């Protein structure tokens, strides 16, 4: 009985440690109610400047549109982004700016127009969260962000789909003849081998 109690206590401690680690990797909630990750950048939200800074660091600009209380955003921040390979890949390859779907912080679009977060989200036609827009290496034209993004990820996806999308953008799959869906299917087949 004593061995069973010690084993049970050890298992409880192990679960608490793992829960603490995954909780730490899941980020924290900011004052705006949005999840915050260590790889997110605090910027003046001038997307032209953010794109330049991303390129200077050899990274791709990634704009995440989220909202307070979004269960799908929570899923991504608690189940997908904390996966070590995904966290590391984002940190190594992306310059991430977060936009609050209903926020009032001013954002300057690639076309030079400055609007509140909620108004730029309307301008871009984003209807739900999370939505992630990716921008390529080539300097975006002076057009609205949704028109110059190289890819968009609308919604919460599983680990493999998210990981494949992150890789497809870095590998410039958007410049190839292989659309993301075919790339993703090929990656699934490769993982099964």
Range of the domain at 40: 30-157
Residue 25 has pLDDT above 80, yes or no: no
10 falls within a domain: no
Q: What is the CATH number of the domain that holds 127?
A: 3.40.30.10
pLDDT in tens, 128-165: 999 999 999 999 999 999 999 999 999 999 999 999 99
pLDDT band at 111 (very low <50, low <70, confident <90, very high): very high
What does the pLDDT read at residue 18? Answer: 44
What is the number of domains present in the chain?
1
What is the reported pLDDT for 20?
A: 43
Higher pLDDT, 27 or 188: 188
So what's the pLDDT on residue 4?
47
H or E stretch covering 132: strand 131-135
In a domain, 180, yes or no: no
**Residue 27: its pLDDT value, please?**
77
Residue 173 pLDDT > 80: yes
| First-to-last C-alpha distance (Å) of the chain | 46
| Average per-residue pLDDT for the chain | 90
Peptide bond into 130 cis (omega under 30): yes
In a domain, 145, yes or no: yes
Asked if residue 164 is part of any domain, the answer here is no
- What pLDDT, on a 0 to 100 scale, did the predictor assign at position 22? 43
| Between residues 18 and 98, the one the model is more confident about | 98
Give the predicted TM-score (pTM) of the model.
0.85
CA–CA gap between residue 156 and residue 77 (Å, rounded): 10
Whether the pLDDT of residue 192 is over 50: the answer is yes
Contact assessment for residue 80 and residue 160, using Cβ atoms and an 8 Å cutoff: no
State residue 12's pLDDT score.
39
Q: Is residue 132 part of a domain?
A: yes
Asked if residue 11 is part of any domain, the answer here is no
Is residue 49 one of the residues assigned to a domain? yes
Residue 14 reports pLDDT greater than 90:
no
- What does the pLDDT look like over 77-99, one tens digit per residue? 999 999 999 999 999 999 999 99
Cβ atoms 50, 133 nearer than 8 A: no
In whole angstroms, what is the distance from residue 76 CA to residue 136 CA?
Answer: 23
């Amino acid at each position: 009985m004593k061995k069973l109690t010690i084993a049970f206590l050890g298992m409880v401690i192990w679960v608490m440690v793992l829960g603490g680690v995954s909780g730490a990797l899941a980020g924290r909630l900011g004052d705006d109610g949005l999840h915050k990750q260590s790889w997110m950048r605090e910027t003046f939200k001038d997307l032209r400047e953010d794109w330049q800074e991303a390129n200077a660091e050899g990274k791709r600009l990634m704009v995440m549109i989220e909202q307070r209380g979004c269960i799908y955003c929570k899923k991504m921040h608690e189940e997908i982004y904390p996966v070590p390979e995904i966290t590391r890949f984002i940190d190594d390859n992306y310059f991430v700016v977060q936009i609050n779907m209903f926020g009032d912080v001013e954002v300057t679009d690639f076309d030079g127009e400055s609007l509140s977060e909620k108004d730029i989200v309307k301008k871009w036609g984003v209807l739900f969260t999370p939505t992630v827009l990716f921008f390529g290496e080539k300097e975006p034209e002076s057009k609205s962000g949704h028109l110059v993004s190289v890819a968009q990820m609308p919604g919460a996806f599983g680990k493999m789909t998210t990981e494949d999308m992150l890789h497809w953008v870095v590998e410039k799959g958007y410049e190839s003849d292989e659309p993301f869906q075919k790339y993703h299917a090929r990656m699934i087949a490769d993982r099964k081998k």
